[in-house]
Amino acid sequence: MKNFQFIFLGTGAADWAYHPQGDLKFDRGSKLRRTSSLWINGHILIDPAPEAFFFAKNVLKLDLSQLTDIFLTHSHEDHFDREALSNFILEAEGKVHFFCHESMVPYLQLDKETLYRTELRPLKVQKPVMLDELQVMPLAANHEVAMVMEAPLHYEFELGGERILYGCDGGWFLAGTWSYLMGRDLDAVILDATVGDYADDFRIASHNTLPMIRMLLPAMKRNHVLKENGSVILSHFARTLHDSIEETEVKLKAEGMICAFDGMVL
């Protein structure tokens, strides 16, 4: 990927124990995943997860002062932590654009300091926003949330002719999202892999299983959703539904997929 740098601040689902002040950096010999969050191009954050700030600032030693934009996928507490959000925003040199689906706005409940340093930017599904030359397209995600009217989101990022999809949380693509993605020829996809090798797990309406992903990828390539040589990165792994981190990495590598880990840079 020429135009993007991704740093994974967390790659776990909600069943991993929270370690907001955990100073352990994940590596291949570790047993820890934090809840899912992503740092893009040194100034964009996807999801202020509970552990994301401490990990980014105190473990990875990232410069957060250039933070300009935060994109929220949905309201679940493993993705949206108000304290983490506030901490990220306080590190930024200027005001931060905070993007979320318009249905989330009444439920944000941000403190005054956070509101003062934030420019709220409500989103509509399939209505893109431009950040200079970067286009971000919010897409409806297939994921259950507590607030009936909330629309969880995936995000497609496009810059310099490269297109990347971030799809955590979410199961099988909704029809409208699939229709949009056909013909996009994505260079890479980061997909929810919450459920392991279980074909009959009840979570399939909100999350992907590995069998679902194996079925999905040929259709994505045939319908030009994903380039034939496009990268497939899996994230958002449940602790209780996968083999060990090391075994999962070996298995996915053999199938041509990348197993994301906390602190991974792409």
Q: What is the pLDDT along the chain (266 residues), one digit of tens a residue?
A: 899 999 999 999 888 876 656 555 554 455 688 999 999 999 999 999 999 999 999 989 999 999 999 999 988 888 899 999 999 999 999 999 999 999 988 888 888 888 899 999 999 999 999 999 999 999 999 877 766 677 889 999 999 999 999 999 888 899 999 999 999 999 999 999 988 887 787 777 767 889 999 999 999 999 999 999 999 999 999 888 888 888 899 999 999 999 999 999 99
Cα-based distances in Å from 80 to 53, 84, 91, 140, 226: 12, 8, 18, 18, 29
pLDDT of residue 22: 59
Long-range CB contact pairs, 61-64, < 8 A, 24+: 62/7, 64/88, 64/91, 64/92
Closest alpha carbon to 147 in 194, 97, 108: 108
Cα-based distances in Å from 186 to 32, 35, 86, 219: 30, 25, 33, 13
pLDDT of residue 40: 99
Distance of CA 55 to the CA centre of its chain: 16
Q: Which CATH number fits domain 6-259: 3.40.640.10, 3.60.15.10, 3.30.470.10, 2.40.160.10?
A: 3.60.15.10
pLDDT of residue 159: 99
